[in-house]
């Protein structure tokens, strides 16, 4: 057991101030550090569909973006307090979309809303007010600078730095990890939706200047449209997946959101037409990508490759940091199996031990030996799959077999 990182193991274990073997890391449920009734993960079947730009273009994300995916998903990114509670960027911005069921009683007034400056959430940044906001989707975020509801941050880098250091009170990310985190966010594309179409006259005259359409991004300026806050007009493309609407999630339907705009001088017919166009812009054809055991394990293997890359670079210290994040990923899979599936959990726990052995060797400068351990790990994972599948009934994967959407386009009012 290495000495210099007691915090990390404590965080992994969910036990402050206690150092235990790595093998125990995944046994702890982060929910025990959160108020009863908290929900920080979407169910596996309502997992938002993946829309990664390089994949949409027929390729695959590059090395930096793949590392960024791991950083985005890792609770270690947001500092000690968040790590203990299992909160990562992914918890709120699941698969680059919005976690519409995220709830922390005390800090949320409805699912999908959170007050990041509330004592239930952040012991240091309590502003003494209860003002929860709706978690935004990050689809297409590379095109929507500046960032933050009031557009205070010119770049994804400055916004992400602020989230980590200020909103979560974590230590600043090392540059190489921040580069990766930004690269991953730059990969968030829009979901495939309605074919690009030209909205009607009412929309073009009354809405497009602030909201854009499927071809054109709106200019980013802040407005108070009568909802009590100066905010940027959100892009309406694909909005169907992130109901309820408005910064505080107070509008259940697109029509409610439009009704909240002050000073709209539209006839009833124009308003109906503009709403219909907004709904069409907001349509998505495929909303969910249920998480599966095979999918989780494929992603894990990709992340294990990232440790290998650092070992090829003979950077044992970076390999160790990546290894800790990978251990958290192993913990996710572990927790998806019921306690009764002890045999399955036991196999997965061994994976975490092997990662720890490999990164220990890397820290000792034994890079080739460390890579051999990783090769053994891959073989072990492949060999364990049949047993894990056999226990799938005792896991969350069982409930996620059938996707709840039938592939029909959904507009913002169909939940
Ligand atoms: C507890 C939930 C939560 C977590 C965790 C979280 N965010 Fe957010 N995020 C929000 C909320 C709420 C907003 C809207 C607040 C605002 O705009 O000021 C937001 C806004 C953003 C935006 C701005 C979007 C825009 O178009 O203006 C970006 C980018 C972002 N988050 C990235 C991240 C990254 C990167 C992480 C991890 C380092 C992260 N978030 C962690 C809830 C969260
Ligand atoms: C002056 C700029 C402006 C105009 C014009 C405008 N909006 Fe908005 N709209 C906004 C802003 C700003 C928000 C966010 C308000 C909030 O969150 O409090 C918003 C929010 C919305 C939302 C909710 C989006 C979400 O994801 O929460 C919808 C839907 C919407 N507008 C549709 C329309 C339609 C349809 C029209 C034309 C009839 C229109 N808007 C005209 C600025 C504008």
Does 182 contact ligand 1 (Cβ within 6 A)?
no
Structure tokens at 315: 């950077």
Does 395 contact ligand 2 (Cβ within 6 A)?
no
Whole-angstrom distance, CA of residue 194 vs CA of residue 280: 7
- Ligand 1: atom nearest CA of 121 is 1
Structure tokens at 410: 């959904």
What is the mean predicted confidence (pLDDT) over 69-78? 96
Does 146 contact ligand 1 (Cβ within 6 A)?
no
Is the pLDDT at 378 greater than 90? The verdict is yes
Looking at 57-61, 164-168, 359-363, which range is the least confident one? Answer: 164-168
Return the percentage of the chain with pLDDT > 90, whole number: 72
pLDDT score for 194: 62
Is the pLDDT at 24 greater than 70? The verdict is no
Is the pLDDT at 6 greater than 80? The verdict is no
Of 218 and 28, which is predicted with more confidence?
218
228: confidence class by pLDDT, cuts 50, 70, 90? confident
Unique residue bearing structure tokens 């939940």: 415
Asked whether the CA dihedral 361, 366, 370, 373 is positive or negative, the reply is: negative
Report how far ligand 1's centroid is from the alpha carbon of 365 (Å). Answer: 38
Q: Which ligand is nearest to the CA of 38?
A: 1
Cβ contact 387:220 at 8 Å: no
22: confidence class by pLDDT, cuts 50, 70, 90? very low
Task: Pick the residue whose CA is nearest to atom 30 on ligand 2.
Answer: 258
Mean pLDDT of the chain: 88
Quote the distance between the C-alpha of residue 383 and its chain's center: 30
Is the pLDDT at 229 greater than 60? The verdict is yes
- Ligand 2: atom nearest CA of 270 is 38
What is the mean predicted confidence (pLDDT) over 377-397? 97
- Ligand 2: atom nearest CA of 266 is 38
What is the mean predicted confidence (pLDDT) over 254-265? 94
Structure tokens at 216: 């054109």
Does 199 contact ligand 1 (Cβ within 6 A)?
no
Of 362 and 14, which is predicted with more confidence?
362
Is the pLDDT at 322 greater than 90? The verdict is yes
Whole-angstrom distance, CA of residue 254 vs CA of residue 243: 9
Closest alpha carbon to 300 in 327, 337, 336: 327
Q: Which ligand is nearest to the CA of 256?
A: 2
- Ligand 1: atom nearest CA of 153 is 27
What is the mean predicted confidence (pLDDT) over 218-246? 91
Report how far ligand 1's centroid is from the alpha carbon of 135 (Å). Answer: 7
Is the pLDDT at 79 greater than 80? The verdict is yes
User: Which mutation among 77, 116, 230 tests ligand 1's pocket best, with the greatest number of atoms within 8 A of CB?
Assistant: 116
Does 161 contact ligand 1 (Cβ within 6 A)?
no
User: Which mutation among 151, 220, 233, 275 tests ligand 2's pocket best, with the greatest number of atoms within 8 A of CB?
Assistant: 233
Structure tokens at 411: 């507009």
What is the mean predicted confidence (pLDDT) over 245-266? 94
Of 80 and 325, which is predicted with more confidence?
325
pLDDT score for 82: 85
Does 76 contact ligand 1 (Cβ within 6 A)?
no
Is the pLDDT at 20 greater than 70? The verdict is no
User: Which mutation among 150, 201, 261, 281 tests ligand 2's pocket best, with the greatest number of atoms within 8 A of CB?
Assistant: 261
Structure tokens at 237: 């493309």
- Ligand 1: atom nearest CA of 113 is 12
Is the pLDDT at 130 greater than 90? The verdict is no
Whole-angstrom distance, CA of residue 367 vs CA of residue 351: 19
Does 184 contact ligand 1 (Cβ within 6 A)?
no
What is the mean predicted confidence (pLDDT) over 78-84? 85
């Amino acid at each position: 057991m290495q000495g210099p990182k007691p915090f990390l193991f404590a965080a992994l274990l969910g036990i402050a101030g206690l150092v235990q073997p790595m093998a125990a890391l995944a046994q702890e449920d982060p929910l025990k550090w959160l108020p009863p009734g908290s929900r920080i993960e979407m169910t596996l079947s309502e997992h938002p569909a993946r829309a990664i730009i390089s994949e949409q273009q027929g390729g695959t994300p590059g090395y930096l973006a793949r590392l960024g995916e791991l950083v985005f998903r890792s609770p270690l990114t947001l500092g000690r307090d968040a790590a203990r509670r299992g909160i990562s960027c992914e918890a709120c911005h699941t698969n680059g979309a919005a976690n519409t069921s995220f709830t922390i009683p005390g800090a949320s007034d409805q699912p999908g809303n959170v007050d990041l400056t509330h004592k239930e959430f952040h012991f240091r940044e309590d502003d003494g007010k209860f003002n929860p906001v709706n978690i935004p989707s990050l689809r297409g975020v590379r095109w929507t600078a500046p960032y933050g509801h009031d557009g205070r941050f010119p770049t994804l880098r400055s916004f992400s730095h602020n989230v980590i250091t200020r909103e979560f009170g974590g230590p600043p990310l090392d540059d190489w990890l921040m580069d990766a985190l930004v690269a991953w966010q730059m990969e968030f594309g829009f979901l495939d939706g309605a074919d690009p179409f030209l909205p009607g006259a009412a929309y073009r005259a009354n809405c497009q200047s602030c909201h854009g359409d499927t071809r054109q991004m709106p200019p980013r300026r802040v407005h108070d449209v009568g909802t009590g806050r100066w905010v940027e007009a959100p892009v309406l493309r694909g909005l169907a997946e992130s109901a309820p609407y408005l910064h505080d999630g107070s509008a259940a339907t697109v029509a409610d959101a439009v009704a909240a705009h002050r000073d709209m001088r539209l006839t009833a017919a124009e308003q109906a037409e503009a709403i219909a166009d907004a709904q069409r812009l907001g349509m998505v054809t495929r909303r969910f990508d249920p998480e599966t055991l095979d999918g989780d394990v494929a992603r894990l293997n990709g992340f294990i490759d990232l440790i290998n890359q650092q070992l090829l670079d003979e950077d044992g210290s970076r390999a160790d940091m990546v290894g800790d994040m990978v251990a958290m990923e192993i913990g996710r899979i572990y927790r998806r199996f019921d306690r009764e599936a002890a045999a399955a959990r036991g196999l997965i726990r061994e994976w975490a031990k092997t990662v720890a052995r490999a990164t220990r060797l890397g820290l000792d400068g034994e890079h080739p030996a460390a890579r051999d351990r990783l090769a053994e790990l891959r073989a072990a994972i492949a060999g364990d799959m049949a047993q894990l599948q056999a226990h799938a009934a005792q896991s969350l994967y069982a409930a996620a077999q059938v996707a709840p959407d039938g592939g029909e386009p959904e507009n913002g009012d169909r939940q």
